[in-house]
A and B are shown apart, each in its own frame.
Chain A
Amino acid sequence: MSEPNNLVVATQVRKEFGGLVATDDIDFTIPRGAIVSLIGPNGAGKTTFFNQLTGVYKPTSGSIVFDGTEVTYLPPHAITKLGIGRTFQNIRLFSQMSAIENVQVGMHCRLHSGILGSIVRTRKVKREEAESRDRARELLIYCGLPRRHEERSGSLPYGDQRRLEVARALGTNPKLLLLDEPTAGMNPQETAEFTSFVSKVRDDRGLTVLLIEHDMKVVMGVSERITVLEYGAKIAEGTPAEIRTNERVIEAYLGRGATE
């Protein structure tokens, strides 16, 4: 089914909500190690597609193959375990838990402590807990959160919450990282920092990244391939240079100003 150089192969993915077609038979592939962006006007079905990829929604028809495994009808946690980590458009941290605990929840499917072990607190469990804390700390620092690890995540500043969401997603030890509008609400400087951070994560960890983004500077700057959706259908696909000059994309989304 899957070609070895493609991490994700989505075929004819369709999702209907009642009469509304949210994603209309989308074919989509993500090459291993690439940074791919998904753009389009609001309501184009980008997040719906994301949610199908992560198992939150089940497609009405079609199939999604991730890393050689059919994931179309798997529950979200199983898909996460296979190696898809994600962030949310509207931040969904566990706001009453500390930053560290958030990342540790992300590690849930990579840890093994059982019930009896946790009650007795065996040496193995203790070691695993300590290691997971250390690793969570490293991830937080890596994602640009050097301090305030024990603090309630809900009390962190907005930008830090975005970074924490990425750290939590990295905690799942993903092969594919899905970022849903990660720079929404960031100022230009933060956005620039984040853009270079995405490339860095990819290079450091050998990840593949799928990005939903409205900020064209980010999209054009970081992605190797761009897919454009409108009304649930794919209207264009190509390199940033190709997309920039694609008539339909300009019509539907970018606007005339983008060509100059």
Chain B
Amino acid sequence: MTSLSDRARRIAGGRRETWLVPLLVVLGLLYPWYEETLQSLPLIGDFVPSTESMVVMIALTMMAVGLNVVVGYAGLLDLGYVAFYAVGAYTAGWFASQQFDQVTFHFFSSVPNDQPGIHISMWLVLVVAGLLTLFAGILIGLPTLRLRGDYLAIVTLGFGEIVPQVVRNGDNFGGFDLTHGAFGIAPIDAVGIPALGVIGLPENFQTSPNRALWYYVVAFLLLLFTVFCSVRLRDSRLGRAWIAIREDETAAAAMGVPLMRTKTWSYAIGAFFGGVAGAYYASFRGGAFPADFYFQISVFLLCMVILGGIGSIWGVLAGGMILSYLDREGLATIGSKLQDAGIDFEPTKYNAGIYGVLIVAMMLFRPAGLIPERRHKIELEEGVHDTPFYDVTTEGTLTDRDPSDD
């Protein structure tokens, strides 16, 4: 019976996705063009987010999709994801601003060629930011991923604090100003399409009259790319190994899955997307500021993953868009509506509390998330079979023994 219903569900799921995906892609891409129409609708019009907000929402959702690779696929609880956002944003700062005005170097930049500093095309910066963050992910991952569960969470939390602190205090590395301290790096160059400027495409998105629109379109394509990679990886040899580790580390290792390497890759790939999103967001904001990289962002991103459905791409997209919408516009809109109705309550003041209540409510009524991943749903309902696996690099202790094995 289970088998039949399982199969039926999968077939139904498959069908739903085949027509839903192209539809959502087209609708999503064209959002700026019908945004105003939506906003003029009665009742719901006021709740429709602006294109400007959508850019931020998409950047955050992209990070959530990246975090999902770590938390959802490989089952590694990461509480320091904000570190990758920071690395990405500062990479943009280093390679596309006047931060290093000792030199003047331009490479297809969107700013005048006589500006001092390193100015590399933002397109290239996105790639560099992704790769640098990937490298940071490997660096942080190698020592920490030997830990499991709560211990891993605590250490990642530590790194999530270390990176912003380094950034905040990095204005004097032996006299060298790396991060410009508490002021942050600004302005960061705009994304632009230099060579094609002649046929009406903006050379510089920031100064373009359609700034939000252009940033939105590129953000949307970046999100598509992230989702695409994430799905492809999930269904690959590596993705299988991640899920195997999530389900039973000991068995996975015994089946020839190298634990450290596989976990580190999930961490590094998750980091990659965080870095790209961070760099892009920094370009949109026009700067990277240490005050942006606080612990709450890590938790906020994790909430998106949990709210939507751990491991589920559709879920994380939904969770990411909903939470970032509430944060960016939703709560404020609700607040002003309440004001109009004569109720003196400002939800924006209580935002963290509201997200907390949301998550608690989810845990009570729909613990697998809004759009659960098939496997995770069952794991939550039936539990996983996993006993602690002592790390291959350290000596075992009494507690490592599984009494049922003897």
Contacts and interface: CB of A to CB of B under 8 A. Distances in A.
Interface string A131-170: 0000000000000000010111011000000000000110
B382 interface: yes
| Interface secondary structure of B, over-half rule | helix
A118 B233 contact: yes
B257 A43 contact: no
B14 to A, nearest CB: 12
B401 A152 contact: no
A102 to B, nearest CB: 8
B349 interface: no
A118 B236 contact: yes
A57 interface: yes
A106 B243 CA distance: 13
B250 interface: yes
Contact of A17 (B2, B3, B251, B398): B398
Interface in B2-22: 2-3, 6-7
Nearest to B247: A94
B382 A154 contact: yes
Interface in B241-255: 241, 243-244, 247-248, 250-255
26 contacts: A46-B406, A48-B406, A56-B390, A80-B253, A89-B404, A90-B405, A92-B248, A93-B248, A94-B247, A95-B382, A95-B385, A96-B379, A97-B244, A97-B247, A105-B241, A108-B237, A108-B255, A109-B257, A111-B237, A113-B237, A118-B236, A118-B237, A119-B236, A121-B232, A128-B237, A172-B255
A132 B255 CA distance: 15
Interface string B259-272: 10000010001000
**Which 5 pairs from chain A and chain B are nearest by CB?**
A109-B256, A118-B236, A96-B375, A80-B256, A75-B392
Contacts, number: 146
A106 B256 contact: yes
Interface residues of A, number: 57
Contacts of A109: 256-257
A86 interface: yes
Contact of B396 (A17, A92, A110, A115): A17
B253 A75 contact: yes
A170 B2 CA distance: 28
A231 B264 CA distance: 40
Contacts of B396: 17, 57-58
A96 B378 contact: yes
B240 interface: yes
A169 B256 CA distance: 10
Contacts of B389: 56
A17 B397 contact: yes
Contacts of A18: 397-398
Contacts of B247: 94-97
A97 B243 contact: yes
B217 interface: no
A239 interface: no
B201 interface: no
A127 interface: no
Given A106-B256, A172-B256, 16 more contacts: A47-B406, A56-B250, A75-B259, A80-B254, A86-B254, A94-B244, A96-B374, A108-B256, A109-B257, A110-B256, A113-B238, A118-B236, A128-B237, A151-B3, A154-B378, A172-B255
Contacts of B114: none
A55 interface: yes
